Amino acid sequence: MKNSLGILGGGQLGMFICQAAKKYNIKTTVFSDNKNFSAKEFCDNFLIGSFTDQNLLDKFINSSSFFTIETENIPITVLRKIENKKKVFPSSYIVEIAQNRLKEKKFLNSISGVKTAKFKKIENFSNLESHIKLFGRTGILKSCEMGYDGKGQYSISDKNINNFKNNDLKGYILEEVLDFKKEISVIVCCSKKNTILYPPVENIHKNSVLRESIYPARISYKIKNEALLLAKKIATKLKLQGILAIEMFLMKDDTLLINELAPRPHNSGHWSLDFCKYSQFESLIFSIFSEKLVQPEPTDSCKMINVIGKDYEKKKKIV
Ligand code: ADP
Ligand code: MG
């Protein structure tokens, strides 16, 4: 099928990708490793099971002409198997970098003019003890893979460092604790024809979970342009085809540090569903099917509030 799209993962982001695809008569097949998933009622077909089940994976590969992801936490071997026959957007090369904090940080710092928080690879407790001294005896220990919403992250100081003595610390990094002014994010989308950027939004996190995104970010024109330039530079270096969200820290001296990359639509871009002519999900579809992208020119300000868990039940009662 020419106009068909396979999506790995069927959560909220997968659901919105399906809705956007439907608008343009593209048939979707969702591969979910979870029985109950948000995209179930919005996709045309679905497969449920382990991504590494060869039989299911073959069926999935045969289902569609192009493929995309709604989470970077997909085994890279699975993406490569798809790429042996079909195209994945963004490519497995990009996902491999973005799904591992160590690879991601090394990649980002290799680009001239791009910087992140200072970091050290951690493999054991003695690494943690020695490296924490470099960052003023505090740091954030982060698992290199599979983390989201602050999961797999620990604030470390003299007070609690000894609690980690018997932990297996292979596959972690230690980051310096940044005293930033604010967090912003930029979404960049590239098709074969052109590149567009969703302008920076300001992100408010509580306990490492995104709670609000405010458009436009309350930053100067100069910082806005710097953020857009950084996003474009990173996308170019990655030879991006598809969509990529870039989280940034605005420091007290007005420099921008890159926090992390998400090679998929992003929660902080949900405002584009209501305030842009084409949402981040539609732009992703256009990029996959090599259409010309339309630069979003939102004219109004807005705010996205992330309604989570029990709060959602309360909202439903009000509506
Ligand atoms: P996740 O994959 O869970 O989103 P992040 O690395 O983006 O992981 O961390 C989640 C949040 O924790 C960030 O949005 C930020 O608020 C805070 N945070 C992460 N790294 C640092 C740091 N080095 N210094 C201060 N705060 C940080
Ligand atoms: Mg993050």
Residue 250, pLDDT score: 98
Question: Where does ligand 1 bind, in terms of residues with CB under 6 Å?
Answer: 117, 140, 147-150, 175, 177-178, 183, 205, 208, 247, 259-260
Percent of the chain with pLDDT over 70: 98
Residue 123, pLDDT score: 96
Residue 295, pLDDT score: 97
Confidence bin at 318 (pLDDT 50/70/90): low
Q: Distance (Å, rounded) from C-alpha 304 to C-alpha 265?
A: 15
Asked whether residue 1 carries a pLDDT value surpassing 60, the answer given is: no
Tokens of 255: 């420099």
Residue 310, pLDDT score: 78
- Three-state secondary structure call for residue 241: coil
Describe the chain by its helix, strand, coil percentages, rounded to 5.
35, 30, 35
Residue 149, pLDDT score: 86
What one-character-per-residue DSSP string does 219-239 give?
Answer: --HHHHHHHHHHHHHHHHHTT
Helix residue spans in the chain (DSSP H): 12-23, 54-63, 76-85, 92-98, 101-109, 125-132, 221-237, 272-275, 280-288, 310-318
CB atoms within 10 A of CB 264: 27
Asked whether residue 271 carries a pLDDT value surpassing 90, the answer given is: yes
93-144 pLDDT, tens digit per residue, is: 999 999 999 999 999 999 999 999 999 999 999 999 999 999 999 999 999 9
- Three-state secondary structure call for residue 300: coil
CA atoms 97, 101, 105, 108: torsion sign: positive
203-214 pLDDT, tens digit per residue, is: 999 988 999 999
Measured in angstroms, how far is the CA atom of residue 268 from the centroid of ligand 2? 10
Residue 111's contacts (CB-CB under 8 Å, 6 or more residues apart) are 233, 234, 237
Counts of helices then strands in the chain (DSSP H, E) = 10, 15
Summary mean pLDDT of the chain? 95
User: DSSP character for 208?
Assistant: T
Atom of ligand 1 nearest to the CA of 176: 23
Residue 316, pLDDT score: 65
Asked whether residue 182 carries a pLDDT value surpassing 60, the answer given is: yes
Measured in angstroms, how far is the CA atom of residue 51 from the centroid of ligand 1? 28
47-95 pLDDT, tens digit per residue, is: 999 999 999 999 999 999 999 999 999 999 999 999 999 999 999 999 9
Report which residue type is found at 291.
E
Q: Note the pTM of the prediction, 2 decimals.
A: 0.96
Residue 312, pLDDT score: 75
What letters, b where the CB count within 10 A reaches 16 and e where it falls short, cover 224-240? bebbbebbbebbeebeb
The ligand minimizing its distance to the Cα of 245 is 2
Asked whether residue 46 carries a pLDDT value surpassing 70, the answer given is: yes
Confidence bin at 319 (pLDDT 50/70/90): low
Match 């959560």 to its residue by tokens. Answer: 11
Tell me which of 172, 180, 208, 211 to substitute to probe ligand 1's pocket, judged by most ligand atoms within 8 Å of the beta carbon: 208
The ligand minimizing its distance to the Cα of 209 is 1
Residue 95, pLDDT score: 98
Protein residue with least CA distance to atom 11, ligand 1: 208
Measured in angstroms, how far is the CA atom of residue 252 from the centroid of ligand 1? 17
Residue 317, pLDDT score: 64
What one-character-per-residue DSSP string does 58-82 give?
Answer: HHHHHH-SEEEES-S-S-HHHHHHH
- Three-state secondary structure call for residue 32: strand
32 forms beta bridges with: 48
Confidence bin at 282 (pLDDT 50/70/90): very high
Asked whether residue 277 carries a pLDDT value surpassing 80, the answer given is: yes
- The answer to whether the beta carbons of residues 4 and 63 sit under 8 Å apart is yes
Asked whether residue 287 carries a pLDDT value surpassing 70, the answer given is: yes
Protein residue with least CA distance to atom 1, ligand 1: 148
Match 């305030």 to its residue by tokens. Answer: 275
Residue 313, pLDDT score: 76
Helix residue spans in 201-302 (DSSP H): 221-237, 272-275, 280-288
